[in-house]
Amino acid sequence: MLTEIRIQNFAIIDALELSFGGGLNVITGETGAGKSIIIDAVELLLGGKADASSVRAGAERALVEGVFALNAYVQAELMPILQREDLVEADAPPLTELTISREVRASGRSIARVEGVTVNLDILGEIGEKLVDVHGQSAHLSLLKPSAHIDLLDRYATLMDAREALSAIVVRLTGVRRDIKMLLEDEASLKRRALRLRDEVDEIDASALVAGEDDLLKAERTRLANSEQLARLTAEAVALLYGSDELPDQVGAVDQVMQAVVLLGKLATIDAAHKDDRDILNDISAQIEEISTTLRRYLDDVEYNPERLEEVEERLELISTMKKRYSAASIAEILAYADKAREELESLENSEERLAELRESEQAMLLQIGELGERISRARNAAAQQLGARIVTELGDLRMASARFEVSITQVEDEQGAIVGDYRLAFDHTGLDHVEFMMSANPGEPLRPLAKVASGGEAARIMLALKRVLTAADHTPTLIFDEIDTGIGGRVGAVVGEKLWELTGNHQVMVVTHLAQLAGYADRHFHVRKLVDSGRTRTQIEPLAENEQRAAELAAMLGTVNEAGLQSARELLSYAGDYKRQRRPAP
């Protein structure tokens, strides 16, 4: 629910901070005082259109910020959206509060933020519709969207589990039909594809590629191409270490170091301080001997082999050609491509058998969807009759006794549809039905889609009736009704007050009203008034905490600001208080 709202330089509000609570929050005040500006500010938070004219004259920007407390259901709805948009960490615990802000510059440009992170208006709207529904003058009416009607009806009829089971079958069917479509492509094209795949697999297999062999071949090519230089350098190093037959007087480094070890050994027997030097030189002598042996072996292996060099060059050229042909960066990628090609080839070569299996699966799923969809449809029709009757009763209480309401449930034949008896019916993840709420607000008028029937206060009353009946199916935590009392009198106003207050069992409800009879049912009452300071007009809103404050405001709304009017207002408050205690006794 909406717990706090802060507004700066918005319309005729210079600075305002309000705290709301659960239950029925009522906003009253004289016409033009700015009651609906509060609703406009909330709509701006929900992704409503920003207008430079909403910035208070002389200010650079307007700012609206709202804090929403999140219950478990809203957490489950919002967290996937917030994680998808990187507004919270993927493994973050569910938020208990969400802060949304909207800034409107005098230029008309606006910035929306969720938890301090800038978001676009589409995301803001997606989040906002999970938090608040505004009914009345605005266009933010979720119940007027036909796409929402089937969900509301199914929640009312407790069909969501059955729908989830049907949706799972539809998902599987979609995959089967995708595979069938692939197999039903042009036969010649499939044959050409299979032939090409066979040639590619055979070519890769014939090449006998081994992952990483190109690196080994490149190293071997380097050695073969430089064999003469490698042999010469190695021979010279060996001659220096071991001596050379060509230079009999030259003593090799190995012998000289060994002689030095012997001398240091003798020295150490006389002066023990040189024992460590003797040991170190002895280790060095062993390492030189090891290196010398390695070089002699290497020299024996080094050979000039032009035939092998040519073989290596040809192999590397083949590998390079294969990489280019298969757009691969490595031999491993070529081998992976071959494995994938074999799988596709096997599928193509067994396409007729596979197609028969897929067709059989498709038929079975269409029968399942038809059977389950028909059961869901029957339940929907039964629930729709009950829903329609209850809404008509509610509308009668709201001074719309001539209104008619029906839930239209239609089906469309489709040659590729679900099998229901002798028919094939179109379907989607929700089943076989198209659902839309239909209504006639006046005698003699035909039933028409709900969105085309009424506007303003009449639409708000229709929404109130729908919300009353669908309250268990509707999980939007905050409901706002603006000018719901248009065209109704005091007696009906009391009925509207009762019905709005009863909605607070599952929702936070906010109402802007001119009717004292409705305002009497408030759990929190806010009074709006317009002031002029230093030649500037501004809106002020304050909570009315005491019953006498509320009674004075109700008396003013009744137009009798005297003792008789105050007494009438006190009676309204007393009656409303008794009604609320009887319906929901205090714990």
The residue whose two tokens read 């007729």 is 352
Other beta carbons within 10 angstroms of residue 473's beta carbon come to 17
**AA letter at 440:** S
Closest CA to 116 of 103, 104, 99, 129: 99
Task: Return left, alpha or beta for 493; rule: phi > 0 is left, psi -120 to 50 is alpha, else beta.
Answer: alpha
Interatomic CA distance for residues 87 and 376, integer angstroms: 38
Show pLDDT as tens, one digit a residue, over the chain (587 residues). 999 999 999 988 888 899 999 999 999 988 777 788 888 899 899 888 888 888 988 889 999 999 999 999 899 989 999 998 889 888 888 899 999 999 999 888 999 999 999 999 999 999 998 999 887 554 445 667 788 889 889 988 999 999 999 999 999 999 999 888 877 776 667 778 888 999 999 999 999 999 988 888 888 788 777 777 877 887 778 778 777 666 666 667 777 888 888 888 888 888 888 888 888 888 888 888 888 888 888 877 777 778 888 888 899 999 999 999 989 999 999 999 999 999 888 877 777 777 888 999 999 999 999 999 999 999 999 999 999 999 999 888 887 888 889 999 999 999 999 999 999 999 999 999 999 999 888 888 899 988 787 555 566 677 778 778 877 677 889 988 877 776 666 677 888 888 889 889 889 999 988 889 999 999 999 999 888 877 788 888 889 988 899 999 999 988 888 898 899 999 999 999 999 999 876 54
Query: What angle (nearest 5°) sits at the alpha carbon of residue 422, between those of residues 416 and 424?
Result: 20
DSSP 586: -
β 24-29/61-69 pair status: unpaired
- First-to-final CA distance of the chain: 22
266: CB partners within 8 A, 6+ apart: none
Other beta carbons within 10 angstroms of residue 161's beta carbon come to 9
Interatomic CA distance for residues 574 and 580, integer angstroms: 10
What does the domain layout of the chain look like in residue ranges?
213-329
DSSP 93: P
Give long-range contacts, CB 8 A cutoff, 24+ apart: 111-117: 112/47, 114/82, 114/87, 115/82, 115/87, 115/88, 117/86, 117/87
